[in-house]
Chain A
Amino acid sequence: MSNAVSALQGKSAVGFATVTEAGLQGMITLRGDLKSAKLKKAVKSAAGVDVPAARRITLKSGRGAGWMSPDELLILVPYAEARATVEALSKALADDHHLVADVSDARAMFRIKGDKADQVLAKLCPVDLKTLADGELRRTRAAQVAAALWQSDKGEFTLVSFRSVADYVFGALELSARSGSELSAS
């Protein structure tokens, strides 16, 4: 565990927005019946939040859950707690049909910060960022690869991709954030 390093180890680039690889993040895939009381309880206990509505993500002090599909959630916890959380979820759901998998190391996470952070993403993702709701988790693509994104703060977006393409995603974000290529003044 002490050997663990993220894909780009915090690499960062500054343009009209700042792009940073966000380091290690605990992520767990949970598949099951999202309506079951037992699952709701397990999620609350593991992630500290309720099961999110369709296409929503709920985050509270570094933990949370995102809706990925009608039977899949993405549980977010600190990296060091991922294994224990997997075990806790597995135990809680042992009697029900479900699947829990640690995917913390399968992903790379990026933060895009700045007043015009949305303009960086608007060049790579076919998403209407102006109408992206608060707490909306959007599964989409970033240029040629799969991605998921949400607005994680005012003037900040978080984007998740697969780990193997971290270099590619960072390259595309860095290029799109270069000064002088703003889409508009605001």
Chain B
Amino acid sequence: MSTRLPKGGRLIDRTKPLNFTFNGRRMQGYQGDTLASALLGADQMLLGRSFKYHRPRGLVASGAEEPNALVGLGTGSRFEPNQRVTTTELFEGASAASQNHWPSLEFDVGAINNTFGRFLPGGFYYKTFMFPRFAWKHVFEPVIRQSAGLGKVPQDRDADRYEYAYGFADLVVVGGGVAGLAAALQAGKEGKRVLLIEQTAHWGGRAPVDGVEIDGRPAEDWVKATVEALGKMANVTLRTRTMASGLYDHGYLLAYERIGDHTPGDGRPRHRLWRIRAGHVVTATGAIERPLSFAGNDIPGVMLAGAVRDYVVNWAVSPGDRTVVVTNNDDAYRTALALTEAGLIVAAVVDARASVTGALPDAVRAKGIRVLEGRGIAKVKGTKRVTGVSICAQAGEGAEIEEIDCDAIAMSGGWSPVVHLWSHCGGKLIWDDARAMFRPDAAKPPTGDDGMSMVTAVGSANGALTADEVLADVAKQMGGKAAKTNSVAEAALEPVWIMPQGAGPQLKMKMWLDYQNDVKVSDVQLAAREGYHSVEHTKRYTTLGMATDQGKLSNINGLAVLSDALSQAIPQTGTTTFRPPYTPISMGAIAGEARGDIFQPLRKTPMDEWHGANGAYFEPVGLWRRTYCYQRPGEGVHEAVNREILNAREKVGMLDASTLGKLIVKGPDAGRFLDMLYTGVMSTLPVGKCRYGLMCNENGFLSDDGVVVRLSEDTWLCHTTSGGADRIHGWMEDWLQCEWWDWKVYTANVTEEYAQIAVAGPNARKVLEKLGGMDVSAEGLPAMEWREGVLGGCRARVYRISFSGELSYEIAVPASEGLALWKALIAAGEEFGVMPYGTEAMHIMRAEKGFIMIGDETDGTVIPQDLNLNWAISKKKADYLGKRAQERSHMASPDRWKLVGLETLDGSVLPDGVYAVADGVNANGQRNVQGRVTSTYYSPTLKKGIAMGLVKHGPDRMGEVIDFPADGGKVFKAKIVDQVFYDKEGAKQNV
């Protein structure tokens, strides 16, 4: 029986009971409980089933290292699997459910794996599922996926919100135990900007539980006074419930603050991810106790000795009435004393050391508790709960000397410093033989940008064991004077990796190293026998340390067993790599604020709201949101597109072209610069005129296109594609800053300064004339020219350019006036039949005219010559970006695929991207190809499918019919035609 003790419990408030449920059963705990202490207090020792063998499992630890007690917490939109009960603060109404069992926690069918455990050794999966090959995908994997996995996937949208925060400090102290507090106090006194973070809700760490006295008063009082003193320092920030998750280059520290886990639904963010620039980091992260490897060490009721006294002292919870303490060190005797103090029975202390003397063992003996020297546990009795232990000689093979009845076992195999943060960024460890631990090697710390150490490990995290050692270590490394404590001398521990040391296979098959992944001593030894000598390989082969606890309890024991099996020293084996996060952090915290409406920036034009209110069907273009078409009630997308096109061709349409890139290029060398960037000549463009241009990269491939405008003698405005504005601006600056730094050219990206509206169609001029204010006549504003003025009350620059093939004006006004102009045009255009059109109508109209589109006709492998754009390439210029590349033999080859129009014989629409086949097969046995479709649409103007494509020798093969096999065996027959389908002479736009 585990139960709540009648008095005590330094962290609980008995006046504030809290109700919660476990697997639907109502239970009660107190304010200050963790879910673990509340469950244990309610006699719920069995908390889950193990991953592989479905063994019954209970609490082992009391903190972040707990491997077994993971639950599904919450319901619906607040459900989250794999929540560690030892780090979950209890709150009113908490609802927890155990995991990894069917049909119930008490009776689990999967436990049959336990019976057949000897057929599931380390590497079982690798050995079993290799053959036959097809079976993995179709048989084994589906079955394994069905049965694998701890916890259920949440089904609802997460109801909570999350955020980031950016922090800065000279010194971040990680860990709020006495070491961390003392370190922060010293640094605070020195005036440093200090951030002290503690992963739990409480300051002080283990010291108050371990009966430490500092400066003659109980540790608890010292902690309280120190926290108060720190709170008064303006240069010190204290933060509880904040776990340092990972340390990265240059002191970049990630910390995970659990703001609202214990107050769900109160409207605060649930988690906050801190991204901290730390000048220096002090790890005062303490140490984690190691289990002992004896048969049955995973049976519920077997716990770490430190955890047992945590439950007793912190939460007044007794894990059992009769406890056997098993140890290889003096520290575990504190547990015997704490239990006795609480009025519980300690049946015996089983010590693996042959002879035990010293203050702590003497104090235990003085209480009349039996201390069995040189003894070990041969095996634990019981299945779902400990009922007793069989005692043997540690030196022997496990022959039973006596049996002791008990319902709890407190074990201690020594302590391992928490070296995770130290190691994340390359800090090295040394093996301390006397203490049987890996601890930070001060000579090889993780280094910062200046090559100097960026982390200092202090206290238990640095290998100190007693309070005296801890405070002395802090004083030595941080400065200041160490406070006096009541520490007593402790005898050295004796490393014990297997108990008893001569245990046979039967016992070793029941000695658990990794509780969560069910890895036993026998598995690691088998791996060694099978040739896995590297600890990293053994880890992956056996899955040791690969569970969500990342081997916090199992790593050192596992590699010690491996070292023993390989007959080599532990440092020779080494550790596996410590990687962030220290404990799992929520996906919500990683996403931060980026969800819902602000998942990603959505760029909106000044007229966006109008579009939304008028049936816009949006599509993303880069990060822009653009209108694909405007649907009328009851109208499908394609009908809308066709209507918009016919209306623009017959009357007049309006397009929101604000997203077009607009880059100003100015300076004495601007003309020369643009002549290098574009394939054509821009320096000769007269002021007041526009010219279409192509940009290539150094490899000759077409990169962007657009209309260039000469604004003044030394100023040009370059239009780019919507998606290319920032890229081309960066491209320009790259050349100006890195290559042609002595050219006098300035650029500015004014894309967002202007709203731009295309008014296109036979009635376009009438609409603008009605709006009034500028001469837009054929003479006043000829094609490919521009004028500035006030149009309909807006400050406008009007370009006579056409991407649709119709009489067309593009009007640029300050973005702030965009909506006003748009509305004015809609109103003025009403009598002329104006309708807005979207990007798809724009695409189809340009295809009807045979205009190319970057990203359709180009894909990064196409040069302008492929698209028959030689007219836009200057032959006179000595150079331009891409020129030399385009002269290479492959680029100049007449065999390159070239742009043509394509028309199916039956008027149907070619599928996008399909290939034209040629005779024969290639070296891989595939059909040879001779071309592909780059753009394909239904043309409502021509009432048939039209397409453009790249075809080998295409322009020389007009009228030829080629085959395009498509999905489902259908073959489209298409005739090679001119790419301009509509108004080839340009009569429509030149009116």
Contact = CB atoms under 8 A, between A and B. Distances in A.
B365 interface: no
Contacts of B546: none
Interface stretch (B161-169, B433-441, B497-505, B918-926): B161-169
Contacts of A88: none
Interface in B764-817: 793-795, 814-817
A5 B748 contact: no
A171 to B, nearest CB: 4
A99 B664 contact: yes
B991 interface: no
Interface string A149-186: 00000000000001111111001100110111101100
Given A99-B748, A101-B748, A123 B164 contact: yes
Given A3-B817, A175-B593, A122 B277 contact: no
B794 A99 contact: no
A50 interface: no
Nearest to B239: A184
B268 A167 contact: no
A124 to B, nearest CB: 7
Q: Most chain-B Cβ atoms within 10 A of its Cβ — which of A164, A167, A168, A184?
A: A164
Nearest to B604: A164
B751 interface: yes
Interface string A72-103: 00000000000100000000000001110111
B746 A176 contact: no
26 contacts: A3-B820, A4-B814, A4-B817, A5-B817, A29-B748, A71-B746, A98-B746, A101-B750, A105-B753, A105-B754, A107-B752, A123-B166, A125-B166, A126-B166, A126-B275, A143-B592, A143-B601, A144-B594, A163-B752, A165-B602, A165-B603, A165-B604, A167-B597, A168-B602, A175-B163, A181-B163
A131 to B, nearest CB: 7
Contact of A123 (B259, B593, B666): B593
Q: Across chains A and B, which 7 residue pairs bring their CB atoms closest together, nearest first?
A: A3-B820, A99-B746, A4-B816, A164-B603, A106-B752, A105-B814, A105-B815
Interface string B447-467: 000000000000000000000
A130 interface: yes
Interface string B704-744: 00000000000000000000000000000000000000001
A167 B601 CA distance: 8
B752 A164 contact: yes
Given A145-B601, A180-B268, A128 B168 contact: yes
B509 to A, nearest CB: 52
Contacts of A2: 793
A144 B594 CA distance: 9
Interface of A: 1-7, 24, 29, 31-32, 71, 83, 97-99, 101-107, 122-128, 130-131, 143-145, 162-168, 171-172, 175-176, 178-181, 183-184
A123 B817 contact: no
Nearest to B605: A164
A178 B163 CA distance: 11
Given A105-B816, A165-B604, 7 more contacts: A3-B821, A6-B816, A105-B814, A122-B165, A122-B167, A128-B166, A143-B598
A131 B279 CA distance: 14
Nearest to A125: B166
Interface residues of B, number: 51
B237 interface: yes
Contacts of B603: 162, 164-165
Given A5-B816, A97-B668, A123 B165 contact: yes
A121 B597 CA distance: 19
Contacts of A165: 601-604
Nearest to A1: B795
A85 B817 CA distance: 19
A83 B813 CA distance: 13
Contacts of B606: 7, 163
Contacts of A176: 163, 593
B601 A181 contact: no
B593 A104 contact: no
A181 B748 contact: no
A3 B794 contact: yes
B604 A167 contact: yes
Nearest to B260: A180
Contacts of A97: 667-668, 744, 746
Contacts of B267: 178-180
B37 to A, nearest CB: 28
B624 interface: yes
Contacts of A162: 603, 752
B538 to A, nearest CB: 41
A83 B814 CA distance: 11
Contacts of A168: 597-598, 601-602
Contact of A131 (B168, B268, B748): B168
A6 B816 CA distance: 6
A61 to B, nearest CB: 23
B29 interface: no
A179 B269 CA distance: 10
A125 B592 CA distance: 13
A183 B821 CA distance: 44
Contacts of A164: 603-605, 624, 752
Interface in B623-646: 624
